[in-house]
Amino acid sequence: MTSPHAAPAPRDRLVAAAEQQFRRFGYRRATVDDITKQAGTGKGSLYLHFDSKESVYLAVIEASLERFVERATAALHAEGTVPRRLTALVGATAEHYGADELLRASLLGESHLVDGRPAQLAADIQRGRIRGLLADILEEGRADGSVRADVDSDTTAAVLFEMGWGVVRAGIEGSGGVPLDVTLAALNDIVGRGIRAGRG
């Protein structure tokens, strides 16, 4: 059994060091040498766990995404109707992504931190995980009768992700012209009426 005070494993040290380097310098400027120096390991250790800098970057994104998924899961499993929980997810997403520049970069295309193939791969990871959460909560709503039985959970999750991300992006960038809380209330009303079973 590992002691709670044991030093982090080499892979964890590398991911933590890489996150610091990517946040500080962006994907292009951060080097494998910088990452391994920060982690206190050699290049051999990095290539034992990862096959490239891109792989390290994706591991950093996945670690940051896991922190968001914990918050998202809590929002989706809180009290209230499915539409209200979906709106709570959008709010949690706006707050988390507003504070996490690295996680946001690939979805917003902030090329000073990352662009090209790494950004696309990171965006795909994020879309897949969040859509999966949305599909799960829609299935839960179909099972308990609060969501229409004819709603296709996977397709609806994809649409909700894009709608929700548009709202979040506008809120983060301040480009929507409408306060985020007002937009969220409207989204809740639109989504709620659209997917709710029975009369809304």
| Ramachandran region, residue 50 (left: φ > 0; alpha: ψ -120 to 50; beta: rest) | beta
Cβ(10)–Cβ(39) below 8 Å: yes
Cβ(54)–Cβ(117) below 8 Å: yes
Q: Report the 10 Å Cβ neighbour count for 109.
A: 13
Summarised one tens digit per residue, pLDDT across range 32-43 is 999 999 999 989
CA-wise closest residue to 108 among 89, 94, 87: 94
Summarised one tens digit per residue, pLDDT across range 159-194 is 988 888 887 778 777 777 877 778 777 877 787 778
What distances in angstroms separate CA 69 from CA 48, 64, 126, 175, one per listed residue? Answer: 28, 9, 10, 26
Going along the chain from its start, the domains and CATH numbers come out as 7-51 (1.10.10.60), 53-195 (1.10.357.10)
> In this predicted structure, what is the pLDDT of residue 200?
46
Confidence of residue 109 (pLDDT cuts 50, 70, 90): low
